[in-house]
Amino acid sequence: MSSPLLTEATRIARDFDYPAAEVQRGVAEYIRQSNEGLAKENTTLSQIPTFVTAVPNGTEKGLYLAVDLGGTNFRVCSVQLHGDTTFSLTQSKIMIPRELMASGTSKDLFTFLARQIEAFLRIHHNEHFEAHQRRRRDGNEEEDLFDLGFTFSFPVRQHGINSGTLIRWTKGFNIPDAVGHDVCALLQSAIDDLDLPVRVAALVNDTVGTLMARSYTSPGETGTLLGAIFGTGTNGAYVEKLENISKLQSMKDAHYDTHTGEMIINAEWGSFDNQLGVLPCTVYDRDLDADSNNPGIQMFEKRVSGMFLGEILRRALLDLHNNASVGLFKSSTTSKVSVPSDSLFYRQWGLDTSLLSIVEADTTKEMKDIKVALKDHLNIENASDEDCQAVKILTHAIGKRAARLSAVPLAAILIHTGKLNTDDIVDVGVDGSVVEYYPNFEGHLRDALREVPEVGPAGEKKVRIGISKDGSGVGAALIALVASKDE
């Protein structure tokens, strides 16, 4: 007979069930919200046009630069595309001084970024750099510029492939005079002040970079359809027919190449169903959202991504811990478990999602890895076998629901784009620690895909999913390449 603890854990785990009928309801609603997003502004799914109108096929060649500003570090890299689906990448990473993030002017920040690009060129591409300086000195106007892809992970309103105005800063940045300005122009102007042989060719979203990187490196004839991130956050970008993006007609200042008849759309699917029409909602989801700094926002992301899965688990476990009649992590005559009062177990966001992967991966009877992880992550010592079993039951339920939810946008995009109607393989690139490390994430996602009638087992088999690393490096370089060909 099961103990009260395991009975209760199993009961809570059932709240995280996300059955086939619910997946299907989610897919239908995703298709509806995505069509709405293609038609007008200010919708739940933003469906942002990226002005990237072609995906690579692996034959692209050349040397490109990419920079990435999105957090505490600034990354500069050069990417040599060999034209045979392979590439070499050289990079440097510099921490951004705090005073430049929040108290200086935009000129201070962008001059700092340009100086890092200069230092990188001097170290890694000095010949090219000096040749450029020489030509300029000799009055030779012929330019031989590096095309650069600029990954800028803050909200921007994009007008073209290499222009976008900053809407607001996030993540600790606050330089008011940059807001409302074109961030590509700001970077270009700082680059020009230093007379560097660099042209800012493209403004890049990291999810689009994931799609591009996968399309270049993945084997086969057909380009990649979708790039998806399941890391700290979740988002996806896919190839859409231009004729379906009806809101482009009302974007008066938009400029883009039309000859492929396609454009990559950045779905911003973390905000899917913010109204909670179809997403599952347990008491833990509800409380996590209410206690977050953006209640009612990013509701899909709050059930799927690494930033939140650990916190959902922590809340469910805390419930079992506080329930005196079941007593998770409570000492008994046979076990002496200890949870110090300053344990991260009691702290909001204290449980990192990497713990879920460790728990799910430990299939041994002794559950030693789980016990070590509980000690390392939460300072919980001497957890009993039954405690670990309860942790496993809930972890499995939360991870499996996240993976099955992840099938919703994927199935919707497969159906909406009609890509399953041919015999071709449909290629999907994914990135992020959750999809990479959570055991059987892809397996659960595929189970749910098969349960969608318009996909079914035959459709699911056509989907090839592969890890796509380095969207902000090689992906950004590829976008710079596509942009330079557009001219």
Q: Which is nearer to ligand ADP, 186 or 403 (CB)?
A: 403
Contact (Cβ atoms closer than 8 angstroms) between residue 430 and residue 467: yes
Please measure the distance between the N-terminal and C-terminal CA atoms of the chain and give it in whole angstroms: 71
Bridge partners, residue 241, by sequence? 262
Q: Does 475 sit near ligand ADP (CB under 6 A)?
A: no
Q: Does 175 sit near ligand ADP (CB under 6 A)?
A: no
- Report the alpha-carbon distance of residue 74 to residue 58 in Å, rounded: 27
Task: Give me 420's structure tokens.
Answer: 């399953």
Q: Does 307 sit near ligand ADP (CB under 6 A)?
A: yes
Q: Does 37 sit near ligand ADP (CB under 6 A)?
A: no
- Report the alpha-carbon distance of residue 426 to residue 222 in Å, rounded: 8
CB of 434 to ligand ADP, least distance (A): 5
Angle, in degrees to the nearest 10, between helices 385-417 and 354-361: 110
Name which position in 49, 164, 236, 432 contacts ligand ADP (CB under 6 A).
432
Window of 243-251, 293-301, 384-392, 430-438 that interacts with ligand ADP by CB under 6 A: 430-438
- Report the alpha-carbon distance of residue 398 to residue 405 in Å, rounded: 11
Residue 67, classed as helix, strand or coil, is strand
Q: Does 353 sit near ligand ADP (CB under 6 A)?
A: yes
Q: Does 379 sit near ligand ADP (CB under 6 A)?
A: no
Question: Catalytic residues, which ones?
Answer: 153, 168, 206
Q: Left if phi > 0, otherwise alpha if psi is -120 to 50, otherwise beta: which for 310?
A: alpha
Task: Give me 327's structure tokens.
Answer: 């007593």
- Report the alpha-carbon distance of residue 192 to residue 143 in Å, rounded: 13
Contact (Cβ atoms closer than 8 angstroms) between residue 79 and residue 474: yes
Q: Does 441 sit near ligand ADP (CB under 6 A)?
A: no
Q: Which is nearer to ligand ADP, 398 or 482 (CB)?
A: 398
Window of 58-66, 321-329, 403-411, 434-442 that interacts with ligand ADP by CB under 6 A: 434-442
Q: Does 389 sit near ligand ADP (CB under 6 A)?
A: no
Distance of CA 363 to the CA centre of its chain: 29
CB of 173 to ligand ADP, least distance (A): 16
CB of 102 to ligand ADP, least distance (A): 21
Q: Which is nearer to ligand ADP, 149 or 459 (CB)?
A: 149
φ and ψ of 344, to 5 deg: -60, -15
Q: Does 160 sit near ligand ADP (CB under 6 A)?
A: no
Name which position in 335, 389, 433, 440 contacts ligand ADP (CB under 6 A).
433
- Report the alpha-carbon distance of residue 429 to residue 217 in Å, rounded: 10
Window of 30-38, 323-331, 352-360, 474-482 that interacts with ligand ADP by CB under 6 A: 352-360
Q: Does 306 sit near ligand ADP (CB under 6 A)?
A: yes
Q: Which is nearer to ligand ADP, 299 or 356 (CB)?
A: 356
> Where do we find the tokens 């122009």?
185
- Report the alpha-carbon distance of residue 106 to residue 100 in Å, rounded: 9
Name which position in 13, 37, 438, 482 contacts ligand ADP (CB under 6 A).
438
Contact (Cβ atoms closer than 8 angstroms) between residue 188 and residue 22: no
> Other CB atoms closer than 10 Å to residue 174's CB: what's the count?
13
Q: Which is nearer to ligand ADP, 108 or 436 (CB)?
A: 436
Name which position in 111, 210, 266, 357 contacts ligand ADP (CB under 6 A).
357
Window of 59-67, 181-189, 407-415, 433-441 that interacts with ligand ADP by CB under 6 A: 433-441
Name which position in 37, 58, 197, 231 contacts ligand ADP (CB under 6 A).
231
Q: Does 256 sit near ligand ADP (CB under 6 A)?
A: no
Contact (Cβ atoms closer than 8 angstroms) between residue 86 and residue 163: no
Q: Which is nearer to ligand ADP, 191 or 434 (CB)?
A: 434
Name which position in 154, 346, 349, 437 contacts ligand ADP (CB under 6 A).
437
Among residues 33, 476, 28, 22, the alpha carbon closest in space to that of 269 is found at: 33
Count of chain residues binding ligand ADP (CB under 6 A):
14
Name which position in 60, 147, 289, 352 contacts ligand ADP (CB under 6 A).
352
Window of 104-112, 261-269, 324-332, 347-355 that interacts with ligand ADP by CB under 6 A: 347-355
- Report the alpha-carbon distance of residue 202 to residue 148 in Å, rounded: 7
> Where do we find the tokens 């994430």?
441
Query: Percent helix, strand and coil across the chain, each rounded to 5?
Result: 45, 20, 35
**Which residues of this chain interact with ligand ADP, rule CB under 6 A?**
231-232, 306-307, 352-354, 356-357, 432-434, 437-438
